[in-house]
Amino acid sequence: MTLTVDQLDTDVLIVGGGLAGLRAAIAAAEGGVRVMIACKRKAGRSGNTLVAEGGIAVGSPNVDPEDSIEQHVADTLASGKDLCDPILSRMLAENSEKEVFGLTRFGVVLGRDKSGNLLRGQPPGHTKRRSLRAESDHLPKNARGQSITIPLLKFAENLGVTLLDRTPILRLLSRDGAIESALAMDEEKERYLVIHAKAVIIAAGGAGQMFSLTNNTADITGDSYALALDAGADLRDMEFPQFYPNWGISPFRSTISSVMMGEGAVFRNKNQERFMPSYYPEAKDMATRDQTSLAIFQEVQAGRGVEGGVYLDASGVDREVLEVKFHHLTEAMRRLNLEFGKDPVIVTPVVHHYMGGISVNRHLESGVHGLFAAGEACGGTHGANRLSGNAFSECIVFGALSGAAATEYARGREMPRPAGKESIAAMLPSLAFQEEGPDIADLRREMREINWKKNGIIRTEESLLAG
């Protein structure tokens, strides 16, 4: 079958329709340029934003009277083992209050208690109660992120942003060190698209599905990094996947917010021993995600695990707090005729986030002129380990900043000229059918297993090279 090839053009093309991509689209559209979003699945209804717990870190005395931007920066750098890009970490902290509270103008509702006060939490690694969240109790537990993405999606559509759903970007093309166009596959209309753009923002998430154990959605397959690298951009810190220690595996499979640890939950091994103080006497169960994942891994390796994980004991969390802040979890347990905080819950670490990503400057621009990045696609903000809530803050803040920067860049550039037939032919992938050769599903399964074993919780230079 021969597919047709159509050509489109836009001022700013955004790759990815999650939180970062939608926020970037709004910023660019409000800047007065034409904006197009190309999403592998459906914008606002796919990707990791959809299933995330939704914590949003805001370092401000208006959230916690004892907090500050400086303290947020300090916590971020400490969690990242001082391997963060300090400029990016500061940009995140300095802009979080403005951009997070600015979500309300798009129709996002921040979670509040019965008295109308903001629901605040203190996840591990944070020294203050700076974690907020959107109101999402009305949504299924695997779609709570829509409490943010759907209002942003509607706002973007009202601004005239063009949406190309089920249209994965296959390649980004640059010329003379500047981005020029993208090759996409419109799956619904069964055609190729050559999209010419003055600027491109990559916001297609991370690479969790490159590992055999992950809580990432099926569409998070490293597209951001592959596209950027192929276009001539540099990547950084790709040896740093993050492992989330609170992935529930029994009696249900679900992310359990690490904010719960700040409310009094603790980890116990199969002997009901609280083991975290023996690994981290000061932080105890408030140790950072990388530290907690390592401790759980070591307990399991020592034979003190439970079904490949450990118990999460929430009996020390106030019942009202459980019902208000973690309502979806208490409801999930009730549906199984169990009670959260009394009946056992087993958790284990899985790949959750990628700290590595596209190397960018303070304008969130890569080494390829006109190619920007936002959200998990962007590397350097979190160093070797990310704090809870900083991912959503990064998507919101860097989405807004990259959208504004791409708009400014696009204003000063002419539209790349349409591609000729020969240029288009050179872009298209080979679709020749091969009767013999490796099975792609088997290769993918093997690659994911290798990544888990060689770039897992415990990794060395030797294991990374062997992988």
104-123 per-position pLDDT tens digit: 999 999 999 989 999 999 99
Q: Do residues 393 and 103 lie in contact, with contact meaning Cβ atoms separated by under 8 Å?
A: no
Q: How many whole angstroms separate alpha carbon 373 and alpha carbon 358? A: 7
**Does the pLDDT of residue 430 top 70, yes or no?**
no
CA proximity to 308, closest of 254, 264, 249, 252: 249
Q: What percent of the chain has pLDDT over 90?
A: 85
**Which whole-number Å values give the CA distances from 378 to 18, 85, 228, 372, 459, in the listed order?**
14, 11, 10, 9, 23
Across 2-6, 10-14, 267-271, least confident range: 2-6
The answer to whether the peptide bond before residue 251 is cis (omega within 30 degrees of 0) is yes
CATH of domain 4-240+355-422: 3.50.50.60
- Say whether 274 is catalytic: no
- pLDDT tens digit string along 432-447? 555 667 788 899 999 9
Considering 289, 335, 386, 411, which one is annotated as catalytic? 289
Tokens 């990374």, residue located? 464
Mean pLDDT confidence for 22-39: 98
pLDDT at 467: 85
Q: For 161-284, where are the alpha helices, taking DSSP H only?
A: 223-231, 276-279
Across 4-8, 128-132, 168-172, 280-284, least confident range: 4-8
Mean pLDDT confidence for 264-273: 97
- pLDDT tens digit string along 309-336? 999 999 999 999 999 889 889 999 999 9
HSE-CB at 372 with a 13 A cutoff on CA atoms is: 33
pLDDT at 62: 96
Domain boundaries, the chain: 4-240+355-422, 243-351, 432-466
User: Higher-confidence residue: 131 or 438?
Assistant: 131
Give bridge partners of residue 184 from the DSSP assignment. 169, 193
pLDDT at 306: 97
User: Higher-confidence residue: 55 or 2?
Assistant: 55
In CATH, 243-351 is 3.90.700.10: yes
**Does the pLDDT of residue 73 top 70, yes or no?**
yes
User: Higher-confidence residue: 159 or 142?
Assistant: 159
pLDDT at 415: 86
On average, the pLDDT of the chain sits at 93
Six token digits for residue 375: 């959200």
How many beta carbons lie within 10 A of that of residue 375, not counting itself? 33
Buried b (16+ CB within 10 A) or exposed e, 68-94: bbebbbebbbbbbeeebbeebbbbbbe
- pLDDT tens digit string along 280-313? 999 999 999 999 999 999 999 999 999 999 999 9
Mean pLDDT confidence for 444-460: 93
pTM score, two decimals? 0.93
Q: Do residues 196 and 418 lie in contact, with contact meaning Cβ atoms separated by under 8 Å?
A: yes
Q: What percent of the chain has pLDDT over 70?
A: 97
pLDDT at 439: 81
CA proximity to 41, closest of 78, 16, 70, 68: 16
Query: Given strand 346-354, what is the order of strands in its sheet?
Result: 254-255, 241-250, 346-354, 310-313, 266-268
Q: One-letter amino acid identity for 52?
A: A
- Strand segments, DSSP code E, in 103-153 are 131-133
pLDDT at 440: 84
**Which whole-number Å values give the CA distances from 304 to 349, 356, 372, 452, in the listed order?**
15, 32, 46, 21
Q: How many whole angstroms separate alpha carbon 247 and alpha carbon 254? A: 6
Strand 241-250 with 254-255, pairing = antiparallel
pLDDT at 438: 76
